[in-house]
Structure 1
Amino acid sequence: MGSWVVMAIPSNVYQQPKLGHSAQLSPQMAGLGEASDWDTTILVTDDWMKVASMKVASERRHSGWESVEKKWSENAPAPQRAGLKPPSESTKKADEAMARFPYPHIPIPTPQLDFDFRMKVLLNSQSASVAVGDSFKKLSTLSEGTWSGRFGYGLVVNGGQESQDVVQENLTATQVEATHRLQTGDEVPAYIECKIRGNMIGQPELVKALQDPGRSGVDPRSCRFRVFITMKTSDERYANKLNAGMWVGSCLWKGLEIIYDVYRIS
């Protein structure tokens, strides 16, 4: 198996980030909340604006800027009126879609992503292939694995995955479905069912090279690999944390090893 690209991982990657001290204000900003040189009693009236405009015009005449600006305006090309173009087909479709947009006045909260845990799995070198239409589906079992994150740490003790390559024009999409059994590191461990579904997309030769245990020197970040994850457990210590959760993962696949960085959707 080829070696992974070495990337520095902070030692506290799984710790809740601490809030820093309040930012120091610059002397200029700090003074705004206290004594200020700004005269807040000035009232802007129509007469005041007229006087100010006359003063600006006088200064422009005496400074010579009035004649310079006049030459600029004389030498400037005449503005071209852009002809009205008929709306494109995509614009029409967008307008039609917006006209049918349900409840446009109701704002809906935007989902947030929070890093939750990292998981590594190692697949067995022996796999089986099953014919599916004009293609093949590859069935693999798990050899070993570990995980660690915000809600604990432990081992990946069982499971497997199936994958199928689907060629789309000049790209290959490897569709992945997996089910892994996670064991926590508690004295009396809990067991968590982790279901994964997603795609790795890239140039056909790169996808093939990354899945080949005998190939080396290929950067696993050259292909995009994203997954959707759900988890379930009957253990009361973790049920409230996991059973109603949803996660997405950004992954790297090289040879028989897959690494998942998993983010909880909140």
Structure 2
Amino acid sequence: MGRLGDADVHAAFVEFRAKETDKCMSAQCLYCQSVRAKNTSRQRQHLLECPPYLNAMKEHNPNSSILEMATNGTPTPAMKPTKKRDHETMSNGFPGDIPGLVSRGPPVPKPQLERDIQLTVQLNPKISVGKTIYGDSNWVSFISGHWHSRWGKGTVVPGGQEKQLVAHDLSTHVDSNFILQTHDHPPAYITVSCQGWRVGPPEILETLSDTTKVDSVDPKSYSFRTYLQMETGDQRYLHLNTGMWVGSGIKRSADVVFDFYKVV
């Protein structure tokens, strides 16, 4: 079993072979870029005296055994943590920056979401294609619809379609393709590709497929999330070609309604 702090030491260095003829590995500190022979004890001693490392630990990992050793002279014994499963790590939040990354350059910009489009589409009854190796397959065609946004408004051209793939737990993957027509004179036409998942408790998802009960379902009891991309050759709307949107939707008896947020 490794000594206390060995994991912190190894995480703070990257190992490499300086020359092909070298028999021993070298180690470079990710925080100050110093290079030394690979030796855990000497690497630990280096970290105890490395200001960039100690400052990073104070900010991002104040419980670091190396930091406590540098501050108090002796580390506080700690229980070895149990390895968390992936879903537990996800539910407890992002673990933080890669060690040393922040100290070597500017932080990665955080994207923002801006509400940009609201869209409603009336649907024909679904057509069941049958059970496939991936799940139950359905096709749904679009009757019509309308939309408005920060950059325009208009209608949904009849004839769009959506492919649905229903998993064994009733989670449903949707893949839609349709065309928006603007109210300009002359109008512009914008093709839309939209994919995502409708997920939730099986009993809720089952109710969503019943047109006589779907309007009684609380939209917060399930998740209907998608991402959207658009394409057009119209000079007035070329900025849409490079945009990205994520959406949240609700299903009703005769239509679906989406709010789309632009990622900026």
Cα gap change, 1:250/1:126 in structure 2, threshold over 3 Å: closer, same or farther?
A: closer
Q: Tell me the amino acid that sits aligned with residue 258 of structure 1.
A: V
Cα gap change, 1:100/1:108 in structure 2, threshold over 3 Å: closer, same or farther?
A: closer
Cα gap change, 1:103/1:145 in structure 2, threshold over 3 Å: closer, same or farther?
A: farther
The answer for the alignment partner of 1:69 in structure 2 is: none
The equivalent position to 2:261 in structure 1, one of 260, 263, 266, is: 263
How far off is 1:90 after superposition? 4.0
Q: Output the CA distance in 1 between the equivalents of 2:134 and 2:242.
A: 38
How far off is 1:164 after superposition? 1.6
The answer for the alignment partner of 2:137 in structure 1 is: 137
1:196 aligns with 2:188: no
The answer for the alignment partner of 1:111 in structure 2 is: 111
How far off is 1:85 after superposition? 1.0
Instruction: Please list the CA deviations of residues 43-62 of structure 1 after superposition, one character each: whole Å capped at 9, or x if unmatched.
Output: xxxxxxxxxxxxxxxxxxxx
The answer for the alignment partner of 1:161 in structure 2 is: 162
Instruction: Please list the CA deviations of residues 190-224 of structure 1 after superposition, one character each: whole Å capped at 9, or x if unmatched.
Output: 00011100111111111121122222422233211
Cα gap change, 1:198/1:88 in structure 2, threshold over 3 Å: closer, same or farther?
A: same
Report the 3-state secondary structure (helix = DSSP H, G, I; strand = E; otherwise coil) of the residue aligned with 2:125.
Answer: strand
Q: Is the 8 A contact 1:153 1:185 kept in 2?
A: yes
How far off is 1:163 after superposition? 1.1
1:186 aligns with 2:184: yes
The answer for the alignment partner of 1:224 in structure 2 is: 223
Q: Tell me the amino acid that sits aligned with residue 117 of structure 1.
A: I
Q: Which runs of 5+ in 2 are unaligned?
A: 1-75
List aligned pairs for 1:236-247, cutoff 5 A: 236-239=235-238, 241-247=239-245
Q: Tell me the amino acid that sits aligned with residue 219 of structure 1.
A: D
Q: Tell me the amino acid that sits aligned with residue 166 of structure 1.
A: A
What percent identity do the matched residue pairs reach? Answer: 31
Which structure has more relative contact order (CA 8 Å, sep 6+)? It is 1
Report how many residues are paired: 179
Q: Output the CA distance in 1 between the equivalents of 2:166 and 2:147.
A: 27
Q: Output the CA distance in 1 between the equivalents of 2:134 and 2:247.
A: 30
The equivalent position to 2:246 in structure 1, one of 238, 245, 248, is: 248
The equivalent position to 2:80 in structure 1, one of 71, 82, 86, is: 86
Cα gap change, 1:177/1:134 in structure 2, threshold over 3 Å: closer, same or farther?
A: closer
Cα gap change, 1:214/1:129 in structure 2, threshold over 3 Å: closer, same or farther?
A: farther
Q: Is the 8 A contact 1:210 1:220 kept in 2?
A: no
How far off is 1:99 after superposition? 5.0
Q: Output the CA distance in 2 between the equivalents of 1:99 and 1:121.
A: 47
Cα gap change, 1:187/1:175 in structure 2, threshold over 3 Å: closer, same or farther?
A: same
Q: Is the 8 A contact 1:211 1:256 kept in 2?
A: no
Report the 3-state secondary structure (helix = DSSP H, G, I; strand = E; otherwise coil) of the residue aligned with 2:160.
Answer: strand
Q: Output the CA distance in 2 between the equivalents of 1:123 and 1:103.
A: 53
Normalising by structure 1, what TM-score?
0.61
Report the 3-state secondary structure (helix = DSSP H, G, I; strand = E; otherwise coil) of the residue aligned with 1:89.
Answer: coil
Q: Output the CA distance in 2 between the equivalents of 1:181 and 1:110.
A: 31
Cα gap change, 1:230/1:162 in structure 2, threshold over 3 Å: closer, same or farther?
A: same
Q: Is the 8 A contact 1:220 1:254 kept in 2?
A: no
Larger CA deviation: 126-135 vs 177-186: 126-135
List aligned pairs for 1:63-74, cutoff 5 A: none
